[in-house]
Structure 1
Amino acid sequence: MILSASCCHRICWLSRRTATIAAALPKKSRKDIISLDRSEGKEKQSRRNGNSRGDGGNEGYKRPIGSFSMLIIPVVTFGLGCWQTYRLKWKLDLIEKLRERLNEPAVDFPLDDLSQLQNMEYRRVRVTGEFLHDREFPIAPRGRFDPGHAERTTASMLSNDNLSSHGAHIVTPFRLLNSDLVIMINRGWVPISRISPNSRQDSQVKGIVTFEAVVRKSETRPQFMGANIPEKGTWFYKDFDQMARQYGTAPIYLEAVYESTIPGGPIGGQSNVTVRNDHLQYLITWFSLSAVTLAMWFLRFRK
């Protein structure tokens, strides 16, 4: 195509005008334009690099969310430690309450309303009736519980069967006065040599007697303890229902107090407040886990 003379003249005029305007711009403005172009180029390059890694350029937002989510572990374990602290205090208060109950004055056995016994564990009651010695049986092995025994024998190096901690508890059915109800009485502890009733005939009380005893509840079988063998008279733990069926009694079990002890017979007062209390171990475990996981989080994300 052949351009006319007027068109060529117009193009030449525009070229000269553009050159004149560019020359008139300050040097600083020209540098800013160049710097802006370079910045835009770097930003585009950065976006391309981010896309090639597959992170979409959102790495700066994902890291805080991921790191703070890992704080859930120390927070939760700290909360569990606080809960176990509360449970420990509650359990210690319960144990103290039960120990105080052991020292409260005795009340009459609730013969007319046996359901009251459910809320009377470790409470002293007064019973009257007679022992059925022909049905007695031992629970073994059992150690002797006597808080004052160690103090009385500290100065002595003598060791005899009567002071041994290895023995059994003697349980004897007991028929309540003016009633057909037969309950079980743990008369106390005897050493191994006196488990047989023939070895303590003088202590086998006959006739109507009145004494105080402590209400107890049945046990569940401990994890590593053998099973009872009722037909052989072998009892490792107190299962009141099993005992009641085997010896024809009600599933009611009392432990005679120390004052009921007869010379040569079972030693009463074997009621020890035994309430499972593992809350201190749990408390230490949870707080330790909280501290360790928090330290791990700090070392990992402190930057």
Structure 2
Amino acid sequence: MKGTHSLHRALVGAFSKAATAGPSRSIARALPSTTVSRHSFSNLPNFAAPATRARIAPPARLFITSSRCSQGRYEEYTDVPEGYTKPQSSRSQRPWYKSPATLILGFIPIFTFGLGYWQIKRLKWKVSLIEELEDKLSRDPLRLPRNINMDVLPEFDFRLVLVKGTFDHSRTMFVGPRVRDGVIGYHVVVPFRRSEGGGMVLVNRGFVDEKKILGQGEGRRLKDEAIVDGQTEFVTLLPRIYPPNAFTPKNVPEKGSWFHVNPAQMAEWVSGKAGVEALGLTDKEDHYTPSAGVAESVKGMLNGKGGRESERVLPVYLEEVFDGNVGEAATKVAQGIPVGRAATIELRNQHAVYAATWFSLSACTAVMFGLLVRRGRG
């Protein structure tokens, strides 16, 4: 009995060695010749050596117990035992050129370079525009004709205009608030009656400190020393009117709130306020031709009530020119006297800075993209 148990342990060890050696080895070959003989198999009850060469499964899948061997058979276990880690198959990685980071980083240099090129084109356009406007400013001032053709008026923007006549301060409008040299104030827009006739125009007399304005709302007015009485002659500038941005509030004429310059709206308001009636019916010599942009405003003037035809206000907007120095301007502001604009071009030209910014960003991202490609290939 003791010999039987020893032989049993030897057989179990032989099966284990055969399993480790590989599936092509037989159990008989794995057994040591000095330990087990052919005669030993015949003396074992209920246990027989395999008649043919046994195929042993891989080590990770073959487990033989002593109870199975004692009954004369072995079994292949297909379940993974507890604590055994199955080797993972290596997945194929995504190519470096298909990575989202690579695609985005490759697109940024192209996009920013295009923006830089666009800013260069804008720079050339802005320089050309400034040269054109400076050429207009260098010309001698012109006089407004009695009959103003609104269709051709935009062709004379940034031209100096000499006007002569009187102000109507009873219909003064304050546009703002605005800031000048750290002082908060308003621009004073006053109807101007031309001495040659043909209808009044709107003249922006310039900036005035809000603390020097008397009254509130629609009843605001300038100080007496700031009011120009009698006939006067001075140089103005015909500016280019730009539409307000989305953040600028709408004008409220009923409350005297003017946040941006709108010549058509202003002319309609002050003309109705003066009580204009039958515009153009009493003056046969005036062949005023409104453009499409102000046609509706002029129609509104025609519907006014009462008054004189000579009090009508045309949607022509001029800005008074101030040719003094900074000290004189500060003195006028302190006295509450409006200070006009300088006869200069006030157009921002930052396109060169923008172009340099975009080109620099394009160069930096291009270098980063090159390093990423080099690392991906390596």
TM-score normalised over the length of structure 2: 0.51
Counterpart residue number, 2:164: 128
Q: Structure 2: which amino acid aligns with 1:118?
A: P
Partner of 1:252: helix, strand, or coil? strand
User: Distance between the aligned counterparts of 1:257 and 1:299, measured in 2?
Assistant: 58
Greater relative contact order (Cα < 8 A, sep 6+): 1
User: Distance between the aligned counterparts of 1:277 and 1:110, measured in 2?
Assistant: 34
Equivalent residues of 2:146, 2:198 under 8 A apart: no
Identity %: 35
Counterpart residue number, 1:119: 155
User: Distance between the aligned counterparts of 1:110 and 1:143, measured in 2?
Assistant: 34
> Structure 1 residue aligned with 2:207, among 177, 189, 194?
189
Equivalent residues of 1:110, 1:117 under 8 A apart: no
User: Distance between the aligned counterparts of 2:180 and 2:105, measured in 1?
Assistant: 52
Equivalent residues of 1:188, 1:270 under 8 A apart: no
The size of the alignment, in residue pairs, is 226
Counterpart residue number, 2:195: 177
> Structure 2 residue aligned with 1:102, among 117, 129, 137?
137
Return closer, same or farther for 1:271/1:142 CA change in 2, 3 Å cut-off: farther
> Structure 2 residue aligned with 1:256, among 320, 334, 350?
320
Return closer, same or farther for 1:230/1:126 CA change in 2, 3 Å cut-off: same
Return closer, same or farther for 1:79/1:201 CA change in 2, 3 Å cut-off: same
Which deviations, in whole Å up to 9, do the C-alpha atoms of 1:231-257 show, x marking residues without a partner?
111112112222122112222110111
User: Distance between the aligned counterparts of 2:200 and 2:115, measured in 1?
Assistant: 47
Q: Structure 1: which amino acid aligns with 2:153?
A: L
Counterpart residue number, 1:266: 338
Return closer, same or farther for 1:77/1:179 CA change in 2, 3 Å cut-off: same
Q: Post-superposition shift, 1:103?
A: 4.2
Say whether residues 1:242 and 2:262 are aligned partners: no
Return closer, same or farther for 1:71/1:129 CA change in 2, 3 Å cut-off: same
Q: Structure 2: which amino acid aligns with 1:204?
A: I
User: Distance between the aligned counterparts of 2:133 and 2:357, measured in 1?
Assistant: 28
Q: CA RMSD in A?
A: 3.6
Which deviations, in whole Å up to 9, do the C-alpha atoms of 1:186-215 show, x marking residues without a partner?
112221232237653234223332221000
Q: Post-superposition shift, 1:173?
A: 0.4
Task: Give unmatched runs, 5+ long, in structure 2.
Answer: 1-90, 215-219, 272-312
Q: Structure 2: which amino acid aligns with 1:82?
A: Y
Q: Structure 1: which amino acid aligns with 2:338?
A: P
Counterpart residue number, 1:286: 358
Counterpart residue number, 1:7: none
Q: Structure 2: which amino acid aligns with 1:175?
A: R
Q: Structure 2: which amino acid aligns with 1:218?
A: I
Equivalent residues of 2:323, 2:343 under 8 A apart: no
Equivalent residues of 2:172, 2:221 under 8 A apart: no
User: Distance between the aligned counterparts of 1:72 and 1:199, measured in 2?
Assistant: 59
> Structure 2 residue aligned with 1:217, among 234, 240, 253?
240
Task: Give unmatched runs, 5+ long, in structure 1.
Answer: 1-51, 146-163
Q: Post-superposition shift, 1:134?
A: 0.8
Q: Which has the larger radius of gyration?
A: 2
Deviates more, 1:120-129 or 1:252-261: 252-261
Partner of 1:206: helix, strand, or coil? coil
Equivalent residues of 2:253, 2:269 under 8 A apart: yes
Q: Post-superposition shift, 1:296?
A: 3.0
User: Distance between the aligned counterparts of 1:224 and 1:192, measured in 2?
Assistant: 22
Equivalent residues of 1:129, 1:210 under 8 A apart: yes
User: Distance between the aligned counterparts of 1:200 and 1:68, measured in 2?
Assistant: 67
Counterpart residue number, 1:5: none
TM-score normalised over the length of structure 1: 0.62
User: Distance between the aligned counterparts of 1:73 and 1:192, measured in 2?
Assistant: 49
Counterpart residue number, 1:77: 112
Q: Which runs of 4+ in 1 moved over 4 A?
A: 67-73
Return closer, same or farther for 1:70/1:171 CA change in 2, 3 Å cut-off: closer
Counterpart residue number, 2:308: none
Partner of 1:166: helix, strand, or coil? strand
User: Distance between the aligned counterparts of 1:242 and 1:271, measured in 2?
Assistant: 26
User: Distance between the aligned counterparts of 1:115 and 1:213, measured in 2?
Assistant: 20
Return closer, same or farther for 1:103/1:141 CA change in 2, 3 Å cut-off: farther
